[in-house]
Amino acid sequence: MITIQDIQKWSRPHPVVKGGRMTNIFNSKYELSIVGGGNRSLHGDFENDFEIAVFNTKSREFVTRFFFSDNPHDVVGHLGSAELEEFVNSIFRNDNFQVR
C-alpha cells in the first residue's frame, strides 16, 4: 500500500516552483503527477492536500477527467490526503509501478 508518507519521501523539488514538491508514480498505463507546496501557483500544501494530474503513460494525454468525471479540468486541486491514498492505491494496487 502506498501512503502519504511514501509520496512525501519519494518527492523531489519542483523544477519551477520554489519550495514546491513533486512525485510522479507510473506504470504501463498511467502516470500520476502529484504536486504541492511552495507559493500559491500550486494547489495543495503537499502535507494535507495535493494537486494531481493523471496522464496516459504512452500518449502523454491527460486522462484525469476519466477518473474524476465531475472535474472538467486536466488537474484536480486540493485533493485531501485520505482521498489521494485511496486513489493512488486504486490505480497501482496490482501493477508494478515506478517513481520518478
Q: What is the mean pLDDT of the segment spanning 49-53?
A: 96
Residue 69 parent element (H or E): none
- Exposed, middle or buried by CB within 10 Å (0-12, 13-18, 19+), for 36? buried
pLDDT at 87: 95
Confidence of residue 93 (pLDDT cuts 50, 70, 90): confident
What residue has cell string 503513460? 57
Tell me the domain boundaries of the chain: 4-99
Confidence of residue 30 (pLDDT cuts 50, 70, 90): very high
State the Cα–Cα distance between residues 74 and 100, nearest whole angstrom: 20
> Whole-prediction pTM value?
0.92
State the Cα–Cα distance between residues 27 and 70, nearest whole angstrom: 25
